[in-house]
Amino acid sequence: MDAHSPRPSWDDYFMGITFQVALRSTCDRAHVGSTIVRDRRILTTGYNGAPAGLPHCDEIGHLMIGGHCVRTLHAEQNAIIQAALHGVSAAGATIYVTHQPCLTCAKMIINAGIKRVVYAGHYPDENAVAFLRDAGVELQHWSAPIHDEVTDNESPN
């Protein structure tokens, strides 16, 4: 086994997949991806884009209201909705997101029964952080691993 290529931790593994999911986003104001995982199994994925069957931002442009593009469902929302569509419970799951969730997504994460949020990029929404904390959802920042050194930062999962 190559000592310079240690197996990724579970968080690194699922975050890597989540960044791939984000590439499917159709709103270039923010390419966001999310993956819902329970017991080390992927339940659903989501990226930000228009509702199914409707034209996307990269086809007809953004729909701007109050400085935000409102054409899209957020990545976390699409992952949670996909769970509903397929009749899969997200209770007790972890959600990986390329960006810190907004308040609306935080509220949906709480009520979906998701217990842990792992995110990479920061998003300035103090209310989302407070809501998650007060609801007992663990919020954990993730940084890309440094490949030159063997790190031992396995998650408790």
Q: Which residues bind Zn ion (CB under 5 A)?
A: 27, 57, 62, 69, 71, 74, 102, 105
Query: Would strands 116-121 and 138-141 be described as parallel, antiparallel, or unpaired?
Result: parallel
CB of 46 to Zn ion, least distance (A): 10
Nearer to Zn ion, 11 or 98 (CB): 98
Query: Would strands 94-99 and 33-38 be described as parallel, antiparallel, or unpaired?
Result: antiparallel
From 59, 76, 126, 149, the catalytic residue:
76
Active site annotation includes 76 = yes
Instruction: Locate 21 and state its tokens.
Output: 């999911």
Residue 29 has a CB neighbour count (10 Å cut-off) of 14
CB of 81 to Zn ion, least distance (A): 13
CB of 16 to Zn ion, least distance (A): 21
Burial class (CB in 10 A: 0-12, 13-18, 19+), 59: exposed
Nearer to Zn ion, 74 or 116 (CB): 74
- Calpha distance 111→113 (Å, rounded): 5
Catalytic residues: 76
